[in-house]
Amino acid sequence: MSGYLRIGEVARRAGVSATTLRAWERRYGLLEPERSGGGFRLYSDDDVARVQAMRDHVHRGVAAAEAARLARGAPSEVGAPAADPAELASLLGRAFEDFDEIAAHGVLDRASASLSLEAALRDVLLPAMSTIGSRWQEDASSIAQEHFATNVVRGRLLGLARGWDRGSGPRALLACPPGEQHDLALLAFGVALRNHGWRVTHLGADTPAATIAAAAELLAPDVVVLAATERRRFASIAAELAELARARRLAVAGAGADERVAAQLGAELLDTDPVTAAARVAGG
């Protein structure tokens, strides 16, 4: 389609600033505008689609250069069959088993490019991690694969988490109780919650009760979410959490959380996958 849009209109439609649009055009060759008789750059609807696609990829944590490469193919991919999440999850699991980081990132890039953020997390990344975790429990020789997969996924989620504390939406404070080292599901929850417009503060694994309480006092979050794989992690600071629950909305999640734990603490139980739990929290 011939160009007919000025840069300001493209920026408005795509939801990026004109400055960012010019930078993407200059650095990554994202757009090739035509020129009007008066020398003005003119863009088409396909250009708008490319900018929107690159914006979405960048928001999902894809590096800018790779995001531009994916976005340049976006208009021609309209109407292409959607990726099969189950197939992508299988491919990702195979990459983890083979210690193939390049292949793993390739699958995650495909998931980011073809699925919504929620679907990529819920239907691809988390099932692949669950499979690796199950094999580790059954076969000690798979511990190395579980560590490898964890490191790959952690880096990916932290990329998606960039800037997740900005904005003006409600705030969530996330942490794992003392002794709890597994926070990947909590990271995925935070990324999904951010997609609902929330701001996220993540304290990470093995967080002392005093640190959680101090952060809650300072930030006054709309919800505090704690996750653990074992019930005893919550039990070790039950008195402190019960006190926190009297002042703030408190939710507990993970394999260590159940109705009994939630009732003892006066907390809300999040007993679904992280993506569904995020939608539940965001819904009030």
The string of DSSP letters for 144-171 reads HHHHHHHHHHHHHHHHHTTTTT-SSS-E
pLDDT at 65: 78
148 pLDDT band, cuts 50/70/90, is: very high
Angle at 16 between CA 40 and CA 28, to 5 degrees: 70
pLDDT (mean) for 121-137: 82
116 pLDDT band, cuts 50/70/90, is: confident
Q: Over the range 60-70, which residues count as b (16 or more CB within 10 Å of their CB) and which as e?
A: bbbeeebbbbb
- DSSP 8-state code for residue 74: T
Phi then psi for residue 202, to 5 deg, are -115, 115
Residues 133, 146 contacting (CB under 8 angstroms) = yes
pLDDT (tens digit per residue) in 56-101: 777 766 777 777 888 876 444 434 445 789 999 999 999 999 999 9
Strands 34-35 and 250-253: unpaired
CA 220 to chain centre: 23
Confidence (pTM)? 0.72
Share of the chain above pLDDT 70, in %: 90
Beta partners for 225? 174, 251
Instruction: Indicate if the alpha-carbon torsion angle 241, 220, 172, 281 is positive or negative.
Output: positive
* Rg for the chain, CA atoms, rounded: 22
